[in-house]
Chains A and B, each alone.
Chain A
Amino acid sequence: MLSARVGQCITALGAVAVLAFALLSENEYHQHMLIWIALNAVLAVGLRFMLLVGETNIATGAFYGMGAYIAAVFTVKWGLPFPVALLAGGVLGVLVSAAFGMITLRTKGPYFMLISFAFTEVTRLIYTRVEWLGGNSGIMGVFPPQALDPWMPAFSVLLCGGLILLMYLCESSHLGKLFNAIQNNDALVETVGIDVMQIKLVCLVVASFAVGVAGSLHAHVYNVISPGDFSYLLPVFALAYVKVGGDSHVLGSILGATLLTVLSQALQGAGSLEHILFGGAIVAAMLVLPDGLWGGGQRLLRLLSGGRA
């Protein structure tokens, strides 16, 4: 119990340190790196959130893309304020995922995974054919208000941190226990009179809200979006963050997102070696550390403390 509280304190301290870094760092590249990590962490945690009920939701990429597109439309085409554009991504995520979930959550396992995969590809292909959304060229010039420029890294970290916290609080609540029960045996949960479908829908909607908002932020951070940015590879990489980091704890996903984002950037300029090393990192993690760095770390600690912990 005590150790858990200490852990929370340290995590909070770590968050403050990251925030301080976001505020103080002068290097624009490091600031961007931090924002990318934050965005990828939301994607990873959002994907992991559906894993809690045992579903692999590749449509995470679609909701992220929709958030980015609606934010770009709000900012560039309609000139609406930045906060409205951010919120719009979340709202669109909620609306579309609710409709999507009501229809598709009747399936599960590989079927749900493949539907969500197809959904992501369909939305991407549709963007390419809609001229109003810029077709394949996408939408350019999605800038946040100028006054926000120096605060953008800190703001992004806070926003993404907030979204992750939202999902973590859901996971730690009574709802999280239901999620866990559904993952273990949904038939059993159904017999005690709980509507499994409804709980799964709530799970999907919460995750899609967070991912949608992150997508809106993505559009404003990259300033340019195009359909190719939101292919199925995006959620696939997010899944890699979750697995490499370790899926037993939300911090594992953040750790994985951090590590792989830094790695892929470190490999920039390495040309075609990038694919080899990135793919190699995923394969190596899956073979050497199947429970991820988080799980591996826990085992190491247990070993060091002689089984006391």
Chain B
Amino acid sequence: MGLIAQLLVNTLQIGAVYVLFSLGLTLVFGVMKVINFAHGQFFTLAALLIAAAMPELTVRFALPAWLDYFVCFAAASLAVSALAAVLYFGAFERYLRDLIGSFILSVGLLLLMEGIYLWVFSGAPRVVPKLLTGQVSVLGGSLETQRLVICGIALAFTFGLYQLVQHSKLGKALRAVAEDREAAMLQGIRYRRISFYGFMIGSALAAISGGLIAPLVAISPSIGNDYLSKAFIIIIIGGLGSIPGAILGGFLIAAIESFAGYFFDLSYATIAMFLLVMVFLLVRPQGLLGHAQR
């Protein structure tokens, strides 16, 4: 029981951030039909900025750690969003609904941004000071208190986004565009504007998940890559463009990583995930919860 509880707790804490990160990727795909390989770079930048700025702020203003983190988190999210806007108008806007073109563009950006991060931040891993100490027991599995809090924040953001997409006017427009662009435009939805909003929300989600993960891991310029490849698996299994699918897929992949990693070996678990993806794409290309659209 203790073991299963621990594995479930692991699933929950890994899954919460996977979900948030994947939501952004799937949203961008749904609205723009762009598979953004640079998505992980927004995530990485937010984490790097927080790790670089927090010690500075502590020294200058002697803020308590949580406030310091909050200020840096907000500033980093804004900075990353600004960069995303620049990249949208400067680059991505020209490759809307162009799968191959946007793919190459985003891969170019991936290389370019990782190179710049390495140059500016160097390759050494950075860490964010501990915000909360102590650990708690959930259902018999143990985890750090700050992980539990961050996990809760991630779930809250996920819930918020879900509400936004399901119930707000903007959310309805996003979904309409993702399902059928022509029909949505006939309804008077302005595609370009909606696709910009979709990209900005998606990139902000990447920045937020990067900010949330910052206190938990060692931050280096290449951390985004691991999340990106996981997120691809997640959004395929959940269904490209599907919001509920990304949530389900995120927890499913976290569960596979947690359980298969325990009972077998993590590197076999990775192979198994990719095989699962291929099977899914063949048998149920719309994913678990996606809409059948060809």
Binding site for B on A (CB under 8 A): 51, 56, 103-104, 106-111, 113-115, 117-119, 121-122, 125-126, 128-129, 236, 239-240, 243, 272-283, 285-287, 290
Contact = CB atoms under 8 A, between A and B. Distances in A.
B112 A275 contact: yes
Contact of A129 (B268, B277, B281): B268
Interface stretch (B59-67, B103-111, B188-196): B103-111
A282 B104 contact: yes
Contact of A273 (B33, B115, B285, B294): B115
A114 B267 CA distance: 20
Contacts of B153: none
B267 A121 contact: no
Interface string B82-112: 0000000011001100011101110111111
5 tightest Cβ-Cβ pairs between the two chains A and B? A279-B111, A282-B108, A275-B115, A279-B112, A276-B115
A113 B118 CA distance: 29
B240 A110 contact: yes
A286 B108 contact: yes
A118 B111 contact: no
B263 interface: no
B267 A125 contact: yes
A272 B274 contact: no
Contacts of A125: 267, 270-271, 274
B285 A111 contact: yes
A275 B118 contact: yes
Given A275-B118, A287-B90, A122 B274 contact: yes
**Among B95, B109, B115, B282, residue most surrounded by chain A Cβ atoms (within 10 Å):** B115
B281 A286 contact: no
A110 B99 contact: yes
Given A110-B33, A125-B267, A239-B100, 12 more contacts: A113-B35, A114-B232, A114-B236, A122-B274, A126-B271, A236-B104, A239-B104, A276-B115, A276-B119, A278-B111, A286-B108, A290-B94
B116 interface: yes
B68 interface: no
B277 A114 contact: yes
Given A125-B271, A236-B107, A239-B103, A114 B112 contact: no
Contacts of B111: 275-276, 278-279, 282
Contacts of A106: 282
Given A107-B285, A236-B107, A275-B111, A290 B101 contact: yes
B154 to A, nearest CB: 25
A243 B102 CA distance: 11
B82 to A, nearest CB: 18
B257 interface: no
A121 B274 contact: yes
Nearest to A117: B232
Contacts, number: 124
A56 B114 contact: no
B138 interface: no
A236 B285 CA distance: 23
A24 B112 CA distance: 38
A111 B290 CA distance: 13
B35 A110 contact: yes
A121 B228 CA distance: 14
Nearest to A58: B103
A129 B229 CA distance: 20
Given A129-B267, A243-B101, A272 B115 contact: yes
**Among A111, A129, A243, residue most surrounded by chain B Cβ atoms (within 10 Å):** A111
B217 interface: no
Nearest to A285: B108
Contacts of B271: 122, 125-126, 129
Interface string B110-128: 1111111011000000000
B240 A280 contact: no
B282 A104 contact: yes
Nearest to B241: A110
A121 B276 CA distance: 13
Contacts of B94: 287, 290
A287 B115 contact: no
A268 to B, nearest CB: 15
B185 interface: no
23 contacts: A56-B99, A103-B282, A104-B282, A107-B282, A110-B240, A113-B99, A113-B103, A118-B275, A118-B277, A119-B274, A119-B278, A122-B278, A243-B101, A243-B104, A273-B115, A275-B114, A275-B118, A279-B109, A279-B113, A282-B104, A283-B91, A286-B105, A287-B91
A282 B107 contact: yes
B288 to A, nearest CB: 15
A137 B248 CA distance: 37
A104 B29 CA distance: 22
Contacts of B107: 236, 239-240, 282
Contact of B278 (A115, A240, A274, A278): A115
A237 B294 CA distance: 28
Contacts of B229: 121
